[in-house]
Amino acid sequence: MLFRIWLALRGNDRRDILSHMVQYSIDTAFAALSDPTRRGILERLGRHEASISELADAFEMTLTGMKKHVHLLEDAGLVATKKVGRVRTCTLGARRLADEAAWISSYHAMVEARFDSLEAFLENTKGDEQ
């Protein structure tokens, strides 16, 4: 990813840089959301904040494993953590997934258009057979 940004910088095209940054952001979010445990963590944090230890207990995993999940979510901006003393507390992050929702929406529209085209083709073909 950094190589693509470097290439864009060499070409001095700021739109390419922004495009790569948005794509990297979307890729990071989808990667973070690809795991059911991480999605479960977000659901739980949507109800209330929790320490990493509480999350590890709730998901029956090691503290090290939970830290890795939380770190990925934090890198994607989906979780924020704050350390007070020896306890690291997790809350939902500021990221609202607007770019991801827009991508899903455009993908959905593309698929619907393809199905509409197929339906029109099948209707025309059925009309030709009669």
Whether the model clears a pTM of 0.75, i.e. scores above it, the answer is no
Check whether residue 52 and residue 90 sit in a common domain: yes
How much is the pLDDT for 10? 56
Check whether residue 67 and residue 51 sit in a common domain: yes
Contact 29, 76 (CB under 8 A): yes
Which domain range does residue 109 map to?
96-130
Check whether residue 85 and residue 111 sit in a common domain: no
Strands (E), the chain: 50-51, 79-84, 87-92
The Cα–Cα gap between 107 and 104 comes to 5
Check whether residue 43 and residue 25 sit in a common domain: no
Check whether residue 101 and residue 88 sit in a common domain: no
41-55 pLDDT, tens digit each = 999 999 999 999 999
Check whether residue 70 and residue 27 sit in a common domain: no
Check whether residue 40 and residue 25 sit in a common domain: no
Provide the number of structural domains found in the chain. 3
Angle 85-90-91 (CA atoms, 0-180°, nearest 5)?
Answer: 130
The Cα–Cα gap between 44 and 21 comes to 29
Instruction: Report, as an integer, the average pLDDT of 44-72.
Output: 98
How much is the pLDDT for 129? 66
Among 1-5, 11-15, 96-100, 110-114, the least confident range: 1-5
Check whether residue 58 and residue 73 sit in a common domain: yes
Average pLDDT, the chain: 86
Task: Label the pairing between strands 50-51 and 79-84.
Answer: unpaired
In angstroms, the Cα distances linking 85 to 42, 67, 76, 92 are: 24, 17, 25, 20
Check whether residue 81 and residue 107 sit in a common domain: no
pLDDT at 23 over 90: no
Q: Could you give phi then psi for residue 82, rounded to 5 degrees?
A: -140, 130
Check whether residue 47 and residue 85 sit in a common domain: yes
Check whether residue 88 and residue 107 sit in a common domain: no
| Crossing angle of the two packed helices 14-33 and 36-47, in degrees rounded to 10 | 90
How much is the pLDDT for 58? 97
Q: What band does 11 get if pLDDT is binned at 50, 70 and 90? A: low
Check whether residue 50 and residue 79 sit in a common domain: yes
